[in-house]
Structure 1
Amino acid sequence: MREIYFPDRKIEDGAAFITLEAPYRAQDAALVPVSVKATVPRDAGWSIKTVTLLIDGNPVPLAGKFHLFDEAGGGGVEISTRVRVNEYTLIHAVAETSDGRLFSAERYVKAAGGCSAPAMKNPEQAMARLGKMRMNLPQSLPVGTPVTAQLLVSHPNHSGMQFDQISRTYVPPYFVKSIKVSYAGQPVMDVETDISLSEDPSLHFTFVPKAAGELDVQVLDSKDDVYTGEWPVTPQPAS
């Protein structure tokens, strides 16, 4: 994985400040919850700019490359999503800092068949809701304090390995390629994704509400279709 995604670069052990959480034995290999948490000392002089999530044993290991822009990356990072796991494998989270260093954490997961598991929704339901989004925000949004939001995107995210029992053919790959999140006109996070992300992608992320503004999302899929959503954010004065 290092030579494919980080050629000729040193990756240090990040266990001191990075936590990668995933079930040791997944209940559903097509919907494996994964969380990456990192704490950066306030006087460290660096922040986390990118987190790369890799499922080593998958046909396409990259589940997501999260580019962080909001100041929440300076004090720490919390990202959660759901992935497909194709075989018993290690999962790696690799964080790149603003000064160019790489740190990693790993977790072993027992799951198999996630990339070829049939879709949970029937095709008509999936296409009827294609591109629809929901944003879950906490009730309290203190100004200047990092908060966690959840983005849900309705998309079949076909891996290309799923077999249609009716047509007796493989379902062509059709998946989300990128997700861009901005707040009040400023970028918060850009995500590069691939087939290892689950059906109907779910993404928890942090941002810092400073003033009233729109939380905007743009989703691009492998057919170059674009879906957008926006949600008003009105932070309250800190008590």
Structure 2
Amino acid sequence: MPGYLFRLLGVAGLLLFGAPLTLAATPDPWPGLVQDIFNNRPMNDGSDVIAIEMPSRAEDAAVVPVTLRTKLSPGDSRKVLNITLVIDQNPAPMAAKFQLGPDAKVSEISTRVRVNNYTDVHAVAELSDGKLYMTKTYVKASGGCSAPAAKNADEAKSRLGQMRYRQFGKAGEGPANGAREAQIMIGHPNNSGLQMDQVTHLYVPAFFVNELRLWQDDSLVLTMEGGISISEDPNIRFTYVSNGAKNFRAEAKDTEGHVFQREWKIDDSGI
């Protein structure tokens, strides 16, 4: 397990058990995260490469919307290979890593995350030039990783692995240029390991979706390596370019070894 996870789990324990810890006394974790997650690779200004959008103050710290958007100009020959989402002050800061399919031209990804404390949130894009580009935002929220599950254990178990696919029209775009916007929803408790059972008062073991793969026919659209910061019932919405495929396929795996698979017909209308 990476060193940053041990260090920040210790911080989370202090918060949970009432030790007096203030933000002013907390050192900036980002330099250590650059070392542990990115092997100290140089970080370049990503303001013209990647954008991150989140509410400045979260209404519900357990379900905070986040959108990642690529910003490369049409004439730029570089490609975004992957995007890593890091929530600096979370017990396990690396929330997700999205690998983009080489031909899917994914330009936008939205999901929902848990935020455990007031924090910087970084988006780091790796480009085909071999460099890393970073941007960040600041979110005011607390307690998202330890917030009780919205569904009871029996309900969560009955929905485990159920997947839904939705396809949307995108304003100003459509089948003529191949642009598509779609959404995958997975029924899963995504337990963080920091939530307490309201009946037994014992901590619920961590249990979450750690891998998701999406294809149009046999062409990869994107993959997600997920962690405990992804909210209950993972929900991924994304924009990509269709290759004319007739089917969309998803495969998800969780930390207990379950494998969930589903395939859908793609609506030719693009909506």
User: Residue 20 of structure 1 corresponds to which residue in structure 2?
Assistant: 52
User: Residue 45 of structure 1 corresponds to which residue in structure 2?
Assistant: 77
User: Residue 77 of structure 1 corresponds to which residue in structure 2?
Assistant: 107
In the alignment, the residues of structure 2 paired with residue 164 and residue 225 of structure 1 have an alpha-carbon distance, to the nearest angstrom, of: 23
Contact 1:22 1:32 (C-alpha < 8 Å) held by counterparts: yes
1:179 to 212, 222, 228: 212
User: Residue 66 of structure 2 corresponds to which residue in structure 1?
Assistant: 34
Contact 1:54 1:63 (C-alpha < 8 Å) held by counterparts: yes
User: Residue 213 of structure 1 corresponds to which residue in structure 2?
Assistant: 246
1:136 aligned to 2:136? no
User: Residue 188 of structure 2 corresponds to which residue in structure 1?
Assistant: 155
What is the identity, as a one-letter code, of the residue corresponding to 1:19? A
In the alignment, the residues of structure 1 paired with residue 127 and residue 57 of structure 2 have an alpha-carbon distance, to the nearest angstrom, of: 31
Please identify which structure carries the higher strand content.
1
1:3 aligned to 2:29? no
In the alignment, the residues of structure 1 paired with residue 263 and residue 176 of structure 2 have an alpha-carbon distance, to the nearest angstrom, of: 19
What is the identity, as a one-letter code, of the residue corresponding to 1:96? E
Relative to the length of structure 2, the TM-score reads 0.83
In the alignment, the residues of structure 2 paired with residue 85 and residue 17 of structure 1 have an alpha-carbon distance, to the nearest angstrom, of: 24
- Residues 198-238 of structure 1 show CA distances to partners (whole Å, capped at 9, x for unaligned) of 0001101122222242110000000010001111114359x
Equivalent residue of 1:163, what SS?
coil
1:110 aligned to 2:143? no
CA RMSD of aligned residues (A): 1.6
In the alignment, the residues of structure 2 paired with residue 9 and residue 231 of structure 1 have an alpha-carbon distance, to the nearest angstrom, of: 40
Contact 1:72 1:146 (C-alpha < 8 Å) held by counterparts: no
Q: How far has the Cα of 1:28 moved from its partner?
A: 0.4
Please identify which structure carries the higher helix content.
2
1:125 aligned to 2:155? yes
User: Residue 8 of structure 2 corresponds to which residue in structure 1?
Assistant: none
Contact 1:57 1:87 (C-alpha < 8 Å) held by counterparts: yes
Query: Which stretches of structure 1, 4 residues or longer, exceed 6 Å deviation after superposition?
Result: none
Residues 183, 69 of structure 1: CA spacing in aligned structure 2 closer, same or farther, 3 A cutoff?
same
What is the identity, as a one-letter code, of the residue corresponding to 2:59? Q
Q: How far has the Cα of 1:16 moved from its partner?
A: 2.2
In the alignment, the residues of structure 2 paired with residue 142 and residue 102 of structure 1 have an alpha-carbon distance, to the nearest angstrom, of: 33
User: Residue 131 of structure 2 corresponds to which residue in structure 1?
Assistant: 101
In the alignment, the residues of structure 2 paired with residue 185 and residue 143 of structure 1 have an alpha-carbon distance, to the nearest angstrom, of: 22
Alignment: residue pair count = 235
Q: How far has the Cα of 1:178 moved from its partner?
A: 0.5
Runs (5+) with no aligned partner, structure 2: 1-32
Runs (5+) with no aligned partner, structure 1: none
- Residues 102-127 of structure 1 show CA distances to partners (whole Å, capped at 9, x for unaligned) of 11110100000000000001111111
